[in-house]
A and B are shown apart, each in its own frame.
Chain A
């Protein structure tokens, strides 16, 4: 299953790209599993995902907790807490 990953703010900067396509193994069930798996793919990912408590996620553009199952998601976003307005 191919998932489009999108990253914002310092997560994007540390990874070095705003989006990528990934094919996680079947053992990846939740967003947190996905973050753990991605952290092993490059030093940039590892640095971006170093502190899980500073990460927020959206599955198919809905904000969700990190323990949410990814199911058949097509797009998953990882980003810092929001600071608009």
Chain B
């Protein structure tokens, strides 16, 4: 089961967890990303490329399902304006055992950071700026390209 959502509305973790659990398996691993406030960010706005975003996320989820034989892969990403403390992204992987679930969960979030067309714009006071891409995100995503040992 694959579930992809790009939405303006808040992320309902309870509903998404239920979706992950009813897919049926021994392990569900999840990751939740929150809007950080620690450097004075007042608001964060997410822009995306409608159509291409959903296709990219579907590809990321399909990659995880195939690689770890998941029974579920879930990616929920918010777009539009949001505030510090709010959930910006949620991913879940349901697998027979914990190692596959945990690895697949890391893969989902690492890959979506570099593969899906989202852009963040932060506001601090009256100043607004686009968030620059981080090299570390590409390093994290690239580790999944290496052959498994």
Interface residues of A (CB under 8 A from B): 6, 8-10, 12, 58, 61, 63, 77, 79-85
Chain B interface size, under 10 / 10 to 19 / 20 to 34 / 35 or more:
20 to 34
In the complex, which residue of chain B has the Cβ closest to the Cβ of A61? B52
Interface string of B120-138 (1 = CB under 8 A from A): 1100000000111110000
CA distance A83 to B77 in the complex (A): 12
CA distance A82 to B88 in the complex (A): 15
Check if B49 sits within 8 Å of A83, measured CB to CB: no
CA distance A80 to B49 in the complex (A): 12
CA distance A22 to B21 in the complex (A): 49
B72: min CB distance to chain A, Å = 19
Check if B133 sits within 8 Å of A85, measured CB to CB: no
CA distance A77 to B52 in the complex (A): 10
Check if B49 sits within 8 Å of A84, measured CB to CB: no
Check if B55 sits within 8 Å of A80, measured CB to CB: no
Beyond A82-B118, A83-B113, 12 additional pairs, beta carbon < 8 A? A8-B47, A9-B130, A58-B52, A61-B52, A61-B55, A63-B115, A83-B132, A83-B134, A84-B120, A85-B33, A85-B77, A85-B112
CA distance A63 to B132 in the complex (A): 18
CA distance A55 to B55 in the complex (A): 21
Check if B47 sits within 8 Å of A9, measured CB to CB: yes
In the complex, which residue of chain A has the Cβ closest to the Cβ of B120? A83
Report B-chain residues with C-beta under 8 Å of the C-beta of A84.
46, 48, 77, 89, 112-113, 116-120
Report B-chain residues with C-beta under 8 Å of the C-beta of A85.
33, 77, 88-89, 109, 112-113, 116, 118
B36: min CB distance to chain A, Å = 12
A16: min CB distance to chain B, Å = 15
A-B contact pairs, 20 of them (CB 8 A): A8-B47, A9-B119, A12-B47, A61-B51, A61-B55, A77-B49, A77-B52, A79-B49, A79-B117, A80-B119, A80-B133, A82-B115, A82-B119, A83-B132, A84-B46, A84-B48, A84-B89, A85-B89, A85-B109, A85-B112
Check if B132 sits within 8 Å of A8, measured CB to CB: no
In the complex, which residue of chain A has the Cβ closest to the Cβ of B112? A85
